[in-house]
Chains A and B, each alone.
Chain A
Amino acid sequence: MNCSSRTGVTRPDRGGGPDLFTPTRLPAAPVQLILALLVLTATTTISAAERQLTDDHRYKRDPVFLDANTLIYVVQARPEQLQLVRRDLKSGKQRPVHKDETRSELEPAVSPDGRFLAFLQSRSAASVGMVIEDTRQQTTAEIPPASGFAGMRSPSFSHDGKRVLYVFAEGGRQKVFSCNTSAGDRKVLVDASGICNWPSVSRDGRMLLYGSTRDGNYEIYRASALDGSSPQRLTHHRAQDVRPRFSPDGRRVVFVSNRDGNREIYVMGADGSGVTRVTEHPERDDYPTWHPDGKRIVYVAERKGGFDLRMRDLP
């Protein structure tokens, strides 16, 4: 795959958008007061189409559905630890996925049948391994960190749950790999210049979605899930377009972009058409994941200095 040159800030901005910064101040007190009143009067419901799922305000990231009623996500349990937690959406109860674990674990992924859980685990200084847990057999497989400072990133499962996609950097190129659920049979799927990240396979197993900096900054690409061939660039904006995920029916893509000044959530067609902004707030909205019904997303909303999960209906 070719590496096209980046022209930085002088490149024509095909996507438009502001060249300058966003306003500096976060919502002023009166606005926050109004928001607080809205939250109070509606309990955890932000609007008819949105529901707040957590209220502890701790730093969070990486939500993913285990099933329609269960979320797994990452919370900063201690200043030194990112912890995987599991939350029952009906009861609101949550508990650590690995109760006695003291190391940071992040970026969970769940196989379509819910049997396997893949995640990253901090092992030693700047050294992060990938663990694939068979929750049915109560066994684990892993790709240990490579020597020196190294780590895998962004695990996700193939449509049939038989392979785990992940990214790993070598020679300055961060590539997309895949392995089986025993962490064997490792293969390179995408080897492009720059940094690839966030691989996601469509439910029918045909298409691969990922982010890449091959054209200069983070953009979203679609390619054959079989071998990473025929990449098509779906976004064209000098801002960062990151964290793409196929909807369950494969027709839409949710992603995150700072194209409007700060990090917000967008959806578009699987071919890159019809980009629509979903969230709009001076603070950050990030880490979207599809509900299994394909009609809603859950994401991390930074509000009033805290971080909580929200679920929002999509039109």
Chain B
Amino acid sequence: MSEVGGYEKLAGMINVGQFRSRTCGGPTRRAFLKLGASLPLVFGRPDLLSAVETGSGPRAKSVLVVWLWGAPSHLDTFDPKPDAPSEYRGPFSTIATRTPGVRFTDLLPRIASISDRFALARSHVSTQSGHPDGGTVALTGFHEKPGPVQPNFGAIVARHRGRDGDLPPFLSVGRGIIQDSVRIVEGYGGGTFGKAWDPFQVVVKNDGSVDLPALDLLEGITPGRISDRRSLLKQIDVGRRRLAAAGIDDWERTYQMAYGLLANPSAREAFDVTRESESTRQRYGYTHFGQSALVARRLIEARVPFVQLNWSQTVEAITPNFDFGWDTHIYNFEMLMDRHCPLLDRVLPELMNDLQERGLLEETLVVVMSEFGRTPKINPRAARDHWPQCYFSLWSGAGVPTGGTIGESDRLGEHPLTSPITPLMVGTTISELAGMTTQDRAGLNVLPGGTLIDELF
């Protein structure tokens, strides 16, 4: 490793190449660049992105948000109401968990068997019942309108931490920027910090192969061009224009991040699940979410400060050309039974076990959450609609107390019986566990008025 910007030092040699290869893991295109020491002189000061001083070590060196996009039914998963009337309770039975007095539906037996490793919060509330708005509130703590849109919790932690090494500090693992059938979620990224603080998108396929869309910025760079300074500068101008067209003003940071990522073999390895044993990959399962979770674990292992692992890109559970989110206005019980819960029940315990066995859980905060819950009362189509008045989250790692519950919902799961947990509290708590103080937040002008979920401290 070079001391200069973290790039691989090749004694002045510039060795830049592209390849398209490997369908069974690792970056699949434009995924190989070795840059010489001269490049940082072109791309900016090498210390530009050095880590921000974070003071004493945070409890959570990394944060992993498992984003169940589309909003799972809380009654049919982690907050069942078996004694509610038939028009509420749904068809599933309940099973005991390792948390005394807590039962889950029988769709989640493996997660029930590790419930002592997380805290279950059952008293969330949101103020938005639509997906994009609800997603923004859940991920930023604030409404989209009136703007400006606030930064995603990941952007906040990333900016506080800065960049340490060649991996971006905020990565979104899944299939791209989250959206519904109409538009993207404004709160997916940098918000008031600017697009330069958007998450670095990591697109994962079922077989675990990874695509990094940001590397499109490097399209067209060839060894010949790199060795010709005039051509290189011309190419850089093309990249700059691409970024400007995309509304990204911090060209230098973004471009350097892409180069840094590709120039460092150890950074690239973080995305390469082929380095995992076959049995590990099988345990996660050869599904998009399973292999995405494995990539996310590797990124946590590489000490990325904030990873958002997306269940799906779109919310819709069954809609043409959308990838089966948790938005179950129809087929709620069938989709949960046939697909969503078995998949979650396979992947989440593997992820938690893996983090624990590798000693990562002590310093990694894992939060499983969504934008809201679903109607406790079954709708006319024998399914469930949006319900921001009450929903759940799971918290694990980073020393948070586990094996218990935070808050409680009423007998029908309609409202919290205890103090409600707001998205702003979620963001404030995540940032605090990630090492930010009130002063840090004020300094970045983020999460004003936020309070902590006390039970997690």
- B82–A9 CB distance below 8 A: yes
The answer to whether A65 has its CB under 8 Å from any CB of chain B is no
In Å, the complex CA distance between A22 and B107 comes to: 11
Contact of A22 (CB < 8 Å), options: B113, B277, B290? B113
Q: Which of A207-222 contact B (CB under 8 A)?
A: 213, 216-218
Q: Which residues of B contact A21 (CB under 8 A)?
A: 95-97, 109-110, 112-113
- A125–B113 CB distance below 8 A: no
- B353–A151 CB distance below 8 A: no
* Shortest distance from the beta carbon of B328 to any chain A beta carbon, whole Å: 8
The answer to whether B419 has its CB under 8 Å from any CB of chain A is no
* Shortest distance from the beta carbon of B330 to any chain A beta carbon, whole Å: 5
If A104-B318, A153-B334 touch, whether A284 touches B93 (CB-CB below 8 Å) is no
Tally of B interface residues using CB under 8 Å? 63
- B317–A126 CB distance below 8 A: yes
**Most interface-central of A21, A22, A122 (chain B CB within 10 A):** A21
- B288–A79 CB distance below 8 A: yes
Q: Which residues of A contact B14 (CB under 8 A)?
A: none
Tally of A interface residues using CB under 8 Å? 69
- A195–B109 CB distance below 8 A: no
Nearest neighbor of A81 in chain B, beta-carbon distance:
B321
* Binary CB contact string for chain A from 1 to 25 against chain B (1 if under 8 A, 0 otherwise): 0010111110000000001111111
* Shortest distance from the beta carbon of A242 to any chain B beta carbon, whole Å: 7
In Å, the complex CA distance between A197 and B96 comes to: 27
- B86–A3 CB distance below 8 A: yes
- B333–A103 CB distance below 8 A: no
Contact of B342 (CB < 8 Å), options: A126, A149, A284? A284
Q: Which of A268-286 contact B (CB under 8 A)?
A: 284, 286
The answer to whether A233 has its CB under 8 Å from any CB of chain B is no
- A151–B93 CB distance below 8 A: no
In Å, the complex CA distance between A284 and B109 comes to: 12
In Å, the complex CA distance between A148 and B380 comes to: 11
Q: Which residues of B contact A80 (CB under 8 A)?
A: 320-324
- B92–A240 CB distance below 8 A: yes
- A305–B283 CB distance below 8 A: yes
- A306–B286 CB distance below 8 A: yes
* Shortest distance from the beta carbon of A264 to any chain B beta carbon, whole Å: 13
- A305–B89 CB distance below 8 A: no
- B109–A262 CB distance below 8 A: yes
The answer to whether A245 has its CB under 8 Å from any CB of chain B is no
* Binary CB contact string for chain B from 410 to 453 against chain A (1 if under 8 A, 0 otherwise): 00000000000000000000000000000000000000000000
* Shortest distance from the beta carbon of A207 to any chain B beta carbon, whole Å: 23
Nearest neighbor of B95 in chain A, beta-carbon distance:
A21
* Shortest distance from the beta carbon of A8 to any chain B beta carbon, whole Å: 3
Contact of B282 (CB < 8 Å), options: A32, A61, A128, A239? A32
* Shortest distance from the beta carbon of B215 to any chain A beta carbon, whole Å: 21
Contact of A197 (CB < 8 Å), options: B181, B322, B330, B334? B334
- A151–B281 CB distance below 8 A: no
Nearest neighbor of B320 in chain A, beta-carbon distance:
A103
- A169–B382 CB distance below 8 A: yes
In Å, the complex CA distance between A305 and B286 comes to: 5
If A172-B380, A240-B91 touch, whether A24 touches B318 (CB-CB below 8 Å) is no
In Å, the complex CA distance between A122 and B324 comes to: 12
- B318–A122 CB distance below 8 A: yes
The answer to whether B206 has its CB under 8 Å from any CB of chain A is yes
Q: Which of B285-314 contact A (CB under 8 A)?
A: 285-288, 290
- A149–B282 CB distance below 8 A: no
The answer to whether B106 has its CB under 8 Å from any CB of chain A is yes
* Binary CB contact string for chain B from 368 to 401 against chain A (1 if under 8 A, 0 otherwise): 0000000000111111000000000000000000
User: 13 extra interchain contacts, Cβ-Cβ under 8 A, other than A172-B382, A284-B342?
Assistant: A8-B93, A20-B95, A21-B96, A23-B113, A24-B114, A29-B279, A58-B206, A102-B321, A122-B319, A126-B327, A194-B86, A240-B93, A263-B342
Q: List 23 A-B contacts (CB under 8 A).
A: A3-B86, A5-B86, A9-B94, A19-B95, A20-B95, A20-B112, A20-B113, A26-B346, A32-B282, A79-B206, A80-B321, A81-B321, A124-B319, A126-B329, A169-B381, A169-B382, A170-B381, A172-B380, A172-B382, A258-B109, A284-B342, A286-B338, A305-B286
Residues of chain A touching chain B, judged by Cβ–Cβ distance below 8 Å, are 3, 5-9, 19-26, 28-29, 32-33, 57-59, 61, 76, 79-81, 102-104, 122-128, 148-151, 153, 169-174, 193-195, 197, 213, 216-218, 238-240, 242, 258, 261-263, 284, 286, 302, 304-306
8 closest A-B pairs by CB: A8-B82, A169-B382, A305-B285, A29-B279, A149-B329, A21-B109, A304-B282, A213-B91
